[in-house]
Amino acid sequence: MAQNDTIIKGWQPVIGLEVHVQLMTNTKLFSPAKNKFGEDANTLVDLIDMGLPGVLPVLNEGAMKQGIKFGLATSAKIAKTMIFDRKNYFYPDLPKGYQITQLHFPIVKDGVVDVNGKEIRIHQAHLEEDAGKSMHDKYDNKSVIDLNRSGVPLLEIVSEPDIRSAAEAVDYLKKIHQIITYLDISDGNMSQGSMRCDANISIMRPEAEEYGTRAEIKNINSFKFVEKAINFEIKRQIKLLENGGTVEQETRLYDSVKDETRSMRTKEFANDYRYFPCPDLVPTNISPELIEEVRKDMDELPEEKEARFRSEYNLGDYEAQVLCSEKTTANFYEEVCKVSDPALSAKWIIGEVNALLNKHDVSLNESNINTKNFSNLILKIKDGTISGKIAKEVLEEMWEEGSDPIEIIKSKGLEQISDEGELEAIAQAVIDNNSSQVEAYKSGKDKLFGFFVGQVMKETQGKANPGAVNQILKKLLAN
Amino acid sequence: MNFKEQRDLFRTKKVSAKEAVQESIKKINGDNLNIFINSFQSEALKQAEFIDNNFDKFKDAPLSGVPIAHKDIFCTKGLPTTCGSKMLENFVPPYDSTVIHNCNEAGSVMVGKTNMDEFAMGSSNETSYFGPVSNPWNSDLVPGGSSGGAAACVAADITSISTGTDTGGSIRQPAALCGVTGLKPTYGLVSRWGMIAFCSSMDQAGPFSRDAFGCAALLDAMASYDSKDSTSTERPDKNFENLLAKDFGSLKIGVIKDIDNFGINPDVMQSYEVSKTVLSALGHELKEVDFSELSTGICSYYVIAPAECSSNLSRFDGVKYGYRASDQKDISKLYMETRSEAFGDEVKKRILIGTHVLSAGFYDAYYLQAQKVRRMIKNKFESIFKDVDLIFMPTTLDQAFEKNRESNDPNRMYKEDLLTIPANLAGLPAISFPNGFKNNLPIGGQFVGNYFSEDLLLATTNRIQEVSDWHKMTP
């Protein structure tokens, strides 16, 4: 069962993730208040979100449809009847003293996602409301609460313990991210908290039949930290067990500054949430008609898009997969293809654009690159106005300034020199000025050809058409 | 004065809304039974003037120009809503409950908010933070609860109609003990939006009046489908007042076999027997039904209601509104001191019971079992209603009792709800009406009907009241 390469010092890590995804609905899960990030504190708060005496929740059907979409995208069972439960605990940013969630009858059950060719099962995905936000460092000696987030719909996606390494956990998380952004049910922004992750981690001997005791790491908020936190936790547990200790079932927090996990709450201090069915909400039936309606309304999934890209734009597996890994990139590519060469566009997005994105750690729509200026760049490469080398320069400039490549090329005089007469004159001058190298070349030092090319490029500040230069030099040197 | 007389005086312009309100206010100011927690006299006079100035608009409204008292469990925008608790002594809601909204629209004028057991937990009105209400018939006795103030208000003739809520009998039991008519509608008929929750799966608001007529008119105003309450039922509106005159013909009325085994007081039993002969004389057929499970309802209720209340009352934590214990240094202290200082003993007791029955390790044994019993009782009712149109039984085991009995014998108090609780567990409508008089105190009988049979309950009660005088007796 275990793949050997995930075994560390004779121990098999076993990992399950709980991913909280904030759904992009117009209004909150049970109130008519707007669901939006980044507004002034307590401006998106209805009576219901404040938990005033006498208020009652009414289910947002939009959130329910988004849950159904996720279920359909992961080949899961959609509940015929879903039931909301109350999870009771006291916390200042939980105005009612309970969270409305789904315990036994969640909207989605028994799903599966493909992660690098391996099936990772989804135990369930359930709808629940988010809590408000406590802030302790805004004022001296005072804590304050922002209820804008109170009641925001969440889909909590609980995996089975099918994950075997930190890297696989990250890949799984990226897969979930891909699915929810493709379905347009969440922006999946981890830094803003619209996607958060808890990881359950245990280790076992590969031959053992039962899982080890697990620790849960709460609220990890980036892909990088998920990997680090899990790796730290695996090492901690191995060290503990190899020194004769035992792993305690507990909740831990990951400290990204110190790169370590710390105990937050042990089992005996665990909350008893006293779950029971929420009497304010009647069991909700989900009809086959509704499921069909949602299915018809669903956007293309990553695999479907990849297949279409392969046939429509004549792309290879790898290219299609990379372009479709994020919906924004895929959409960007399609937009560009309306006016530009598909193969060349693919090459440049996968290569240079992705390199810039990775280097600066931003996403495409946060950058200065847009479909218009990028299409113009491809156009100028395609028609030979600029060389690939110059195009990289132009792209850098676009990245920094957001300016149009045509303008950049014009203002900096970067047009490629393809005029044969002009190039021949420059090449002749290079040959005339380097007679000793010409001697050597002609006596058999073939490698010196590159030297002449370099000199021509130098003279033209890199603007010479490399193909033309090669041809001309070969002709002149053969004389 | 009964409701219909009062409304007719307004409709015929013999008495203005303002004059009617002034009369009620005079009585409120002379009240020594502690019926009101707050009265809103200047607001009421203003509203009465508004109705008088818009006579044509309100003339035909179901409650036109009639003063009304609301149980202090319904949120009133800009006006205090205490729920009988220190916790909400100074709480002023920013919104109106649907019941308040509907009653305002129907042309009634709120003169005040009536006293009640704290968070509607109690059967004697003695758990109110604002002190007990006295029974208008004998001030040494309790009016029943939790809607004790609402029932006493009508019995003492301060207003001709009032609203209450009934979770385990909180309308019907005080109606019986105060000698007025009170109806608990089918769960879902009246919106719970803005009604402070005790046990959400059973809480249901309903009307009090001297007679079935007043209850019908008030129910016409109160009942409406409300998209803000997910448990509200979407169904065509009935006009209960018009349906009072409908001839439902000869009914099969179920009477419970061996009901005297439940420990019913002989005077109450005697009135019950007399009423049975009245029903026969009116042409109805009495049919004995077996309902030995009836008494298990109380066990189920005292698990489910505390369970839900423990969760519903979690929001009262001193953080956002209501009472806050002063000078607390950390959040758990703030919670503990706030809740210790501002909840009364009965509320604390039920929160503790509810927390216990929902705890890991006890949930299956208590909460799940209680839900099974609840389903069993519901099923039993459903099978009985295949054979009969209505069930008739006493409302309470006893007449009004002395104050302070509860502290001596809490279980007896809980048992007081034995005959009212089953309708709440099943979500069925039930009406209590005066059906006897002994020791200078009223006695109540109740009909339980099938789902949404309020028209039948009201018409049948109305028919009895056409041939009897119990509902006309005043203290």
Contact A96 B314 (CB under 8 A): yes
Percentages of chain B per state (helix, strand, coil), in multiples of 5: 45, 15, 40
Confidence of residue A230 (pLDDT cuts 50, 70, 90): very high
Q: What pLDDT, on a 0 to 100 scale, did the predictor assign at position B210?
A: 98
Q: Which chain A residues are within 8 Å of B316, Cβ to Cβ? A: 53
Tens of pLDDT, residues B87-125: 999 999 999 999 999 999 999 999 999 999 999 999 999
- From residue A150, give the alpha-carbon distance in Å to each of A60, B4, B176: 14, 48, 44
Mutant choice from A280, A282, A285 vs B, greatest count of B C-beta within 10 A: A280
The CA-based diameter of chain B, rounded to the nearest angstrom, is: 70
Least CB–CB distance from B200: residue in A92, A145, A280:
A280
Q: Of B243, B252, B328, B327, which Cα lies nearest the Cα of B288?
A: B252
How far from chain centre, in Å, is Cα B37? 17
Percentages of chain A per state (helix, strand, coil), in multiples of 5: 45, 20, 35
Q: Could you tell me if A95 lies within 8 Å of chain B, comparing CB atoms?
A: yes
Helices (H) and strands (E) in chain B, counts: 18, 11
- Number of residues that this document lists for chain A: 479
Instruction: Decide: A238 and A212 in contact? Cβ < 8 Å.
Output: no
Q: Which chain A residues are within 8 Å of B307, Cβ to Cβ? A: 276
Chain A residue with Cα closest to B362? A274
Q: What's phi and psi for A315, nearest 5 deg?
A: -100, 155
Q: What's the number of CA atoms in the CB half-sphere (13 Å) around residue A407?
A: 9
Contact map slice: A 60-89 vs B, CB within 8 A: 86, 88
pLDDT at A276 over 60: yes
Least CB–CB distance from A56: residue in B74, B193, B317:
B193
Active-site residues of B: which are they? 71, 146, 170
Chain A residue with Cα closest to B368? A276
pLDDT at A464 over 80: yes
- Token pair 């208040």 in the structure block, residue: A33
Six token digits for residue B350: 């039920």
Does the structural domain B3-250 have CATH classification 3.90.1300.10?
yes
Mutant choice from B232, B311, B352 vs A, greatest count of A C-beta within 10 A: B311
A425 versus B301: the higher-pLDDT residue is B301
CB pairs < 8 Å spanning A and B: 99
What is the dotted CATH code of the domain comprising A420-478?
A: 1.10.10.410
Residues in Cβ contact with A319 at an 8 Å cutoff, skipping those fewer than 6 apart: A309, A346, A350
- Token pair 């004065």 in the structure block, residue: B1
Q: What ipTM is given for this predicted complex?
A: 0.96
Mutant choice from B198, B226, B314 vs A, greatest count of A C-beta within 10 A: B314
* Mean pLDDT for all residues in chain A: 92
Instruction: Decide: B436 and B218 in contact? Cβ < 8 Å.
Output: no
pLDDT at A2 over 60: no
What is the helix (H) or strand (E) element at residue A173, kind and residue range? helix A166-182
| Burial zone of A387 (CB within 10 Å; 0-12 exposed, 13-18 middle, 19+ buried) | buried
Residues in Cβ contact with A408 at an 8 Å cutoff, skipping those fewer than 6 apart: A394, A397, A398, A414
How far apart are alpha carbons A182 and A477 in whole angstroms?
57
- Three-state SS for A136? strand
Q: Could you say which DSSP state residue B61 is in?
A: S
Instruction: Decide: B140 and B98 in contact? Cβ < 8 Å.
Output: no
Q: Of A478, A474, A432, which Cα lies nearest the Cα of A453?
A: A474
Burial B196-214 (b: 16+ CB within 10 A, else e): bbbbbbbbbbbbbbbbbbb
Q: Over B184-197, what HEC string results?
A: ECCCCCCCCCCECC
Query: Could you report how far apart the first and last alpha carbons of chain A are, in Å?
Result: 70
Instruction: Decide: A177 and A68 in contact? Cβ < 8 Å.
Output: no
How far from chain centre, in Å, is Cα B368? 27
pLDDT at A267 over 80: no
Q: Are strands B285-289 and A250-255 parallel, antiparallel or unpaired?
A: unpaired
Tens of pLDDT, residues A303-343: 999 999 999 999 999 999 999 988 889 999 999 999 999 99
Q: Which chain A residues are within 8 Å of B315, Cβ to Cβ? A: 51, 53, 95-97
Q: Could you tell me if B194 lies within 8 Å of chain A, comparing CB atoms?
A: yes
Q: What pLDDT, on a 0 to 100 scale, did the predictor assign at position A365?
A: 82
Q: Could you say which DSSP state residue A366 is in?
A: G
Instruction: Decide: B376 and B433 in contact? Cβ < 8 Å.
Output: no
For residues B447-474, average pLDDT: 96
Q: What pLDDT, on a 0 to 100 scale, did the predictor assign at position B285?
A: 98
Q: CATH 1.10.10.410 residue ranges in chain A?
A: 420-478
How far apart are alpha carbons B174 and B123 in whole angstroms?
8
